[in-house]
Amino acid sequence: MKLRLSVALLFMFVTASAIAQIPALERVEPAFWWVGMKNPKLQLIVHGNQIASRSVKLNYPGVRLAQVHQVENSNYLFLDIEISATAKPGLFTIAFAKAGTKNIEYQYELKERNRSPNRAQGVTSKDLIYLIMPDRFSNGDPSNDSKPGMLETAVNRDSIYYRHGGDIQGVMNHLDYLKDLGVTTIWLTPEIENDEPQASYHGYAVTDHYKTDPRYGNNQLYKQYVEKCHAIGLKVIKDLVHNHVGTEHWFIKDMPMKSWVHQWPTYTQSNFRDAAVMDPHASPVDRKTMLDGWFDHRMADMNESNPYVQNYLTQNHIWWIEYAGVDGFRLDTYPYNDAAYMADWARKIKAEFPHFSIFGETLVWSVPNQAYFTQGNTVNRGFDTHLPGITDGQIKDGIFEALNGKDGWTDGVNRLYSILAQDFLYQDATRNVVFLDNHDMSRFYSMVNEDFSKFKAGMALLLTMRGIPQLYYGDEILMKNFSNPDGLVRLDFPGGWAGDKSNKFTQDGRTGKENEAFNYVRALANFRKQSSALQTGKLMQYIPAKGIYVYFRYDAQQTVMVAYNSNAKDETLNTERFAERTKGFTAGINVTTSQQLASIQNISIPAKTTLVIELKK
């Protein structure tokens, strides 16, 4: 409660108490821009000591200062700039003048756009995403582990709450490992600055939108990381948070206006009930609390109905795409955002980068609830979100039920079948990201009680499912733990630090079972890289019978049969029932073992096993 009050009071008092500490021109954001953008309009945020007392002038061919906005806080100006199609790359001076004082000048640069074809290329169902928490993956540069002047300087690998020293260079050092595994796309949890006093490693409380956290590297290194990924055929997803920022953010400590964040008389946390957003019978109070309540005391909830906030966030995200060339965005806490703004944001992103990919974290409790947030107005929302895909938590839950549940009319494998049967609710379910775990939930291997047969069965279902599959770092080597607390599922990848007792990045450093798991995932992932049926083919599923669930992925070039036996004993599957899909095929190859099946008429399936069979004539 005290924090919310202090943040509200902060706006009223910081300008009086901290004027002497703010430079005459503290920053201009974005610090530079590009010619040739589809949208000719740009809004600069200017922060400096009483900067609003100054007039603004600029003179550059093709660039016009359309309007200067003064806001409640005199330490800010917002400049509306129009950049014509005829403007050329170059430098020009923005002058801030005041009678009797020397002009303050800022050299603004317009750059040429980089139109290389391997930038902003999009992430699709042809890809396999690998999710990494940079602080916990590998320490490639120990010199940046602790940075003087930041609020959290301690490094302690023995604690799940402190920073451990992993960084961007550490990820770059292991790109060959990921390529060998069969990964095509890397998603890092937010690598931009989180200068918060505690647990800053997670990255979801940004304190500077334009700055890579110095404990991970810098902007130049991040750009090099993206370029290195592209050079070897890997794509990059950047993780964004629209909904909130850290309370140590520079524009929270000195807010432009009271309406910059959602204000409450006392600290009010979100009720975290997504149903209140879509419920036709919902209380307006419940809806407002869901959307405008804060996520945490240390996470200020941004007011996305404020046009200045909208411009700031949208331009920042366009800036990162053009600057670094990333290929997709994962949108954190998507249901908590202002829907109208998010739809407008998505349109503006796609206007500049037509092939760019976007998917939103939903983590809601039913397929209709997920589909509600996706594009196309497919569930009678009366509104198009322009969000292509979501994190498909329902598929995850369905796979867990298939692996752990008991066979029943709506239980066991029938749950997964029923969830997929609801794909009609999406405009295109293949844009959804399917997964078994991530940094906010218990690890997959623990969720199947460390049953190795279930582990392999689940991985086979994940990597043959429609959509864009995602692994969480360490899944492939059987990393485990329950998210109680979350830090237990965010442990270090063994071998990522000099002096580690074992190096799981190498075959020799892994145990026999870990190598078996790694090789199993690698076999499926690399088969998927070459399989048109698994990448873009159709899916046809059959009603489960006697605990066995069968579906096919197919196109004109290839047919892959997936059969999961959920029973505790081995079964023999007669395939006569699937004649419409097996017609013309007489044999097959077990994808994970390379075993030849001379006949597919009757197939033996071990207990708790998923067979992936490429059909042959």
| Domain end (from 55, 80, 111) | 111
How far is Cα 174 from Cα 285, in angstroms, rounded to an integer? Answer: 49
2: confidence class by pLDDT, cuts 50, 70, 90: very low
Domain with residue 78: its CATH number is 2.60.40.10
Taking 3-state DSSP, the helix, strand and coil percentages for the chain, each rounded to the nearest 5, stand at 30, 25, 45
How far is Cα 156 from Cα 136, in angstroms, rounded to an integer? Answer: 12
For residue 95, pLDDT over 90 is answered with: yes
Catalytic residue chosen out of the listed positions 152, 193, 304, 361: 361
pLDDT digits (tens, 9 = 90+) for 416-445: 999 999 999 999 999 999 999 999 999 999
Task: Look at residue 21 in the predicted model and tell me its pLDDT.
Answer: 87
How far is Cα 210 from Cα 192, in angstroms, rounded to an integer? Answer: 7
Domain with residue 546: its CATH number is 2.60.40.1180
Same domain, 289 and 392: yes
| 121 inside domain | no
DSSP 264-317: -SS--B----THHHH-TT--HHHHHHHHHSBSBTTEEEB-TTSHHHHHHHHHHH
Task: Look at residue 78 in the predicted model and tell me its pLDDT.
Answer: 98
How far is Cα 214 from Cα 383, in angstroms, rounded to an integer? Answer: 41
Q: Tell me if 259 sits within 8 A of 251, measured CB to CB.
A: no
How far is Cα 125 from Cα 328, in angstroms, rounded to an integer? Answer: 13
For residue 304, the one-letter residue type is E
Q: How much is the mean pLDDT over the chain? A: 96
H/E stretch holding 460? helix 452-464
Same domain, 313 and 337: yes
Give the mean pLDDT of 16-34.
84
| 550 inside domain | yes
Give the mean pLDDT of 78-93.
98
For the four alpha carbons of 361, 471, 129 and 126, in that order, the dihedral sign comes to: negative
Provide, rounded to the nearest whole percent, the portion of the chain with pLDDT above 90.
96
Catalytic residue chosen out of the listed positions 332, 352, 423, 437: 332
Same domain, 407 and 270: yes
| 77 inside domain | yes
* Domain carrying residue 547: 540-616
pLDDT digits (tens, 9 = 90+) for 268-314: 999 999 999 999 999 999 999 999 999 999 999 999 999 999 999 99
For residue 17, pLDDT over 70 is answered with: no
How far is Cα 189 from Cα 135, in angstroms, rounded to an integer? Answer: 9
pLDDT digits (tens, 9 = 90+) for 509-521: 999 999 999 999 9
Same domain, 194 and 268: yes
607: confidence class by pLDDT, cuts 50, 70, 90: very high
**Among candidate residues 127, 204, 233, the one with its CA nearest the CA of residue 467:** 127
Distances in Å between the Cα of 284 and the Cα atoms of 115, 134, 244, 362 are 46, 40, 21, 21
How far is Cα 319 from Cα 416, in angstroms, rounded to an integer? Answer: 40
Same domain, 393 and 377: yes
| 124 inside domain | no
Same domain, 63 and 159: no
Q: Tell me if 133 sits within 8 A of 57, measured CB to CB.
A: no
Give the mean pLDDT of 555-575.
98
| 165 inside domain | yes
For residue 18, pLDDT over 60 is answered with: no
How far is Cα 356 from Cα 124, in angstroms, rounded to an integer? Answer: 10
Distances in Å between the Cα of 478 and the Cα atoms of 436, 450, 455, 511, 520 are 13, 8, 9, 10, 12
| 118 inside domain | no
Same domain, 241 and 267: yes
Number of domains comprising the chain:
3
For residue 6, pLDDT over 50 is answered with: no
3-state secondary structure 41-67: EEEEEEECCCHHHCEEEECECCEEEEE
What 3-state class would DSSP assign to 232? coil
Pairing of strands 559-565, 208-212: unpaired
For residue 229, pLDDT over 90 is answered with: yes
Give the mean pLDDT of 365-379.
97
Enter the pTM of the model.
0.96
Task: Look at residue 109 in the predicted model and tell me its pLDDT.
Answer: 98
Same domain, 576 and 509: no
CB neighbours of 386 closer than 8 A, spacing ≥ 6? 342, 343, 346, 347, 350, 375
Same domain, 52 and 156: no
| 548 inside domain | yes
Same domain, 429 and 560: no
| Domain end (from 476, 500, 534) | 534
Same domain, 358 and 451: yes
For residue 20, pLDDT over 90 is answered with: no
Say how many C-beta atoms besides its own lie within 10 A of residue 540's C-beta: 14
Tokens (6 digits) for 349:
């992103």
Pick left, alpha or beta for residue 109 (phi over 0 → left; psi -120 to 50 → alpha; otherwise beta).
beta
Domain with residue 174: its CATH number is 3.20.20.80
| 159 inside domain | yes
Longest dimension (CA), the chain: 93
DSSP 362: -
For this structure, is 274 an active site residue? no
How far is Cα 350 from Cα 398, in angstroms, rounded to an integer? Answer: 32
For residue 15, pLDDT over 50 is answered with: no
For this structure, is 361 an active site residue? yes
Task: Look at residue 7 in the predicted model and tell me its pLDDT.
Answer: 45
Same domain, 66 and 205: no
| Domain end (from 490, 516, 534) | 534
Please, what is the Cα angle at 595 between 591 and 599, to 5 degrees? 100
